[in-house]
Structure 1
Amino acid sequence: MSDGHENVGYRRLFESDELTFGAGFPLTATNRSRPDVSEETRLARHAEDAGFDALWARDVPTDWPKFGDAGQTFDTWPWLSHVAAHTDDVALGTSSVVLPLRHPIHVAKSAATVDQLSEGRLVLGVASGDRDPEYPAFGVDREDRGEAFRERFEAIRACWHEEFPELEGEWGALEGDLDVVPKPTTETVPMLPTGNARQSREWIADRGDGWLFYHLPEPTLESYVADWRDLAGEKPFAIAVRVAFADDPTADPEHLHLGYRAGVEWLRKYFERLEGYGLDHVIVGLEDGDSERALSTFADEIIGEF
């Protein structure tokens, strides 16, 4: 990977050999209705001050009640611009932009804009999507989303890297008479495919700047990271994990969807094991009635150990 892929946000997350931590919006854990903007903003500043390395926004274009999760509600690009204006140096991430549902010129322009406004703090998770009704809503054939992901991924890169690019795909064509501006702060905004994104691991290792995955059982995660190292060398591997603190600091874990409720002692050892497997970054979704307390506890008891 060339240095042109390593903007300020990417270096913040992946330059050291230590495990780094990000927090996922909504920080108030209000994922079924509109979060309070002022509270989310206050908590974003608090997370940065407490020691989190990144704040991650999700891309959920529509609310599908059956899915049970409306994301952070606000559109990714204006929301991250707002967060950039109210924070100083924390990395800003997307987890993840659904490429088949977005035009690549719009993604290239929007992402480069946020990257410029934040002075290079943006890291772009990108995905193929998982909410079935959204594909017909956007006029996209669900069965073609793997091809659409690849073509749009390459188109976005070309819009950043080239002036007046010439390329075409199922999304449309650029014929060399139009440029897409602004360009990012570096050669490209780093892009991390999320999950399998309907691609082979070899493609992800070759084209991605890292791999972003979901919570996995520890033996599975260990094997995934080992396979990734064989394919991608030192390119980073990151996961998302839901975490709830048990009242008893010595409590054993209880399974949550994509995570655990456990005492802080078990959680500290859990993340130490993840670092030992070679994991580079964890996006934490905290569940607690007192979000500020949860962020502070995680920062003091977990991040402080790394």
Structure 2
Amino acid sequence: MTQPTVPSADGPVDVQGEAQRPFPEHAAMARAYPGGRMTVGAITPLEGFEGPVPSLAGHIERIQQAERAGFASVWVRDVPLLDPSFGDTGQVFDPWVYLGLLSARTTSITLGTASIVMPLRHPLHTAKAAASVDQLSGGRLLLGAATGDRPVEFPAFGQDPGGRAERFRQSLEYFRVVLEHRFPRVESPLGRMHGTDLLPKPVYRRIPVLMTGRGRQDVRWIADHTDGWLYYTPPLEQQAENIERWRELTRGDGDGFKPYAQATYLDLAEDPLALPRRIHQGFSVGRVSFLAMMRAWQDIGIDQLMINFKHSRRPVAEVIDELAEHVLPHFPPGRSGARGEHRPVERTGP
């Protein structure tokens, strides 16, 4: 059998085995990113709170409410340590354990990570966990990936933060090789494999990987090596330029459409006519102006708005109900078959 070579930043990684067919026909991608219009996702925890640690009261019920309301996706965080100076622990729970629970407690919403800190985890552990969640959820996982932005974490894991960009590239390559090939032969700075395989494999033969932020990488590298880009909330004109550049770099890509998403903090005012006021990476705003802002974001090409409720002054259950009635019908999730017929592979197990 011909032995393919997967290029690496540190030289070739040898891979032996038959490669799996890549998407784009993937149900989780189709629900989150139907293409040509914007959908809405939610970032956990779905709760407004002061300080770094949420109460997590009713956290599963809020996610189930979001699924019923028409959110296309829910995204969990990877925050291993409490850093009081950073001010946010995400949903506190380990992302993979939490996604296992969400796999059982939800039915159709796309499940994503926003984002796994790839350099802090061995790629075999990440691949095993990701494929397990993907199988348990029926192929609903998207992997948001990041280099990590909390300096205190790296020495705690015995790592040099200065090497995280390179380790990210190595980890992503290793992750993809072991999921997309059977019995691969791998020679990597992060490990060697020969004569063994990682199970389970993903339902749709490949788990889409979306870059979070720049990750100390060149934008062209991100366009060439990932399946989408999760970004923050710069001014509209700057975001439009980012998206235009992204489309230029990904147009004609062999893997098809690569989405661009924006993460935004939202404090939805009780007064529906309240004008927007800038807060950290987001806005305090009434629903009328918020709907106008969403249409403007859609017009410049944002494929999904990922809402973070941390700064919400109202109960998030109440906010979700208001969005469900007045906003989300304008930005419905994609249908599983929206971009073609999806044929998942047979589920596998150890």
What interval of TM-score do these two structures reach, taking the shorter chain for normalisation?
over 0.9
Alignment RMSD: 1.4
Are positions 1:230 and 2:248 aligned together?
yes
Amino acid at match of 2:320: L
Secondary structure of 2:258 counterpart: coil
Deviations 1:89-122 (A, max 9, x none): 0000100000000110000000000000000000
Aligned partners of 2:74 and 2:112 also within 8 Å: yes
Residue 3 of structure 1 deviates from its aligned partner by 5.0
How many residue pairs align between the two structures?
303
Q: Hey, what does 2:340 align to over in structure 1?
A: none
SS in 2 for 1:124: strand
Tell me the equivalent position of 1:209.
227
> Which residue in the other structure is 1:123 paired with?
142
Deviation of 1:47 (Å): 0.5
The amino acid across from 1:290 in the alignment is: P
Whether the 8 Å CA contact 1:61–1:75 is kept in 2: the answer is yes
- Pick closer, same or farther for the CA change 1:288–1:299 going to 2, 3 Å: farther
Task: Pick 1 or 2: higher relative contact order, CA cutoff 8 A, min separation 6.
Answer: 2
**C-alpha distance in 1 between matches for 2:23 and 2:276:** 42
1:260 aligns with 2:283: yes
Alpha-carbon contact 2:70-2:328 (below 8 Å) kept: yes
- Distance in 1 (CA, whole Å) between partners of 2:35 and 2:325 is 20
Gaps in structure 2 of 5+ consecutive residues: 1-20, 252-256, 332-350
For the pair 1:133 / 2:152, whether they are aligned, the reply is: yes
Secondary structure at 1:67's aligned position in 2?
coil
Segment of structure 1 superposing worse, 164-173 or 257-266: 164-173
2:327 to 292, 298, 302: 302
The separation in 2 between residues aligned to 1:40 and 1:268, in whole angstroms, is 26
Whether contact under 8 Å (1:13, 1:53) holds in the other structure is yes
Greater alpha carbon shift after TM alignment, 52-61 vs 26-35: 26-35
Are the structure 2 counterparts of residues 169 and 136 from structure 1 closer, same or farther at C-alpha, using a change threshold of 3 Å?
Answer: farther
Q: Distance in 2 between matches of 1:5 and 1:149?
A: 23
Letter aligned with residue 192 of structure 1: L
Q: Which residue of 2 aligns with 1:17?
A: 36
Name the SS for the 2:230 alignment partner.
strand
1:36 match: 56
Unaligned stretches of 5+ residues in structure 1: none
TM-score, normalised to structure 2's length?
A: 0.83
In structure 2, distance between residues paired with 1:6 and 1:202: 24
Alpha-carbon separation, structure 1, partners of 2:83 and 2:260: 29
Deviations 1:220-262 (A, max 9, x none): 1010000000001231101100111123222211111100001
Matched, 1:113 2:102: no
Are residue 155 (structure 1) and residue 174 (structure 2) matched? yes
Confirm or deny that 1:281 pairs with 2:304: yes
> Which whole-Å deviations, capped at 9, do the CAs of 1:8-51 have from their partners, x for residues lacking one?
211111124220111111012347225436x1111111100011
Match of 1:180 in 2: 198
1:192 equivalent in structure 2:
210
Report Cα offsets for 1:119-156 as digits up to 9, x if no partner: 00001100000000111111111111110000000000
Task: Work out which of the two has the higher radius of gyration on C-alpha atoms and give 1 or 2.
Answer: 2
Q: For the residues of structure 1 that align with 2:189 and 2:59, how far apart are their CA atoms?
A: 38
> C-alpha displacement at 1:168, in angstroms?
3.0
2:265–2:281: 8 Å Cα contact kept in structure 1?
yes
Partner residue in 1 for 2:27 = 8
In structure 2, the partner of 1:26 is: 45
Residue 219 of structure 1: how far off its partner (Å): 0.8
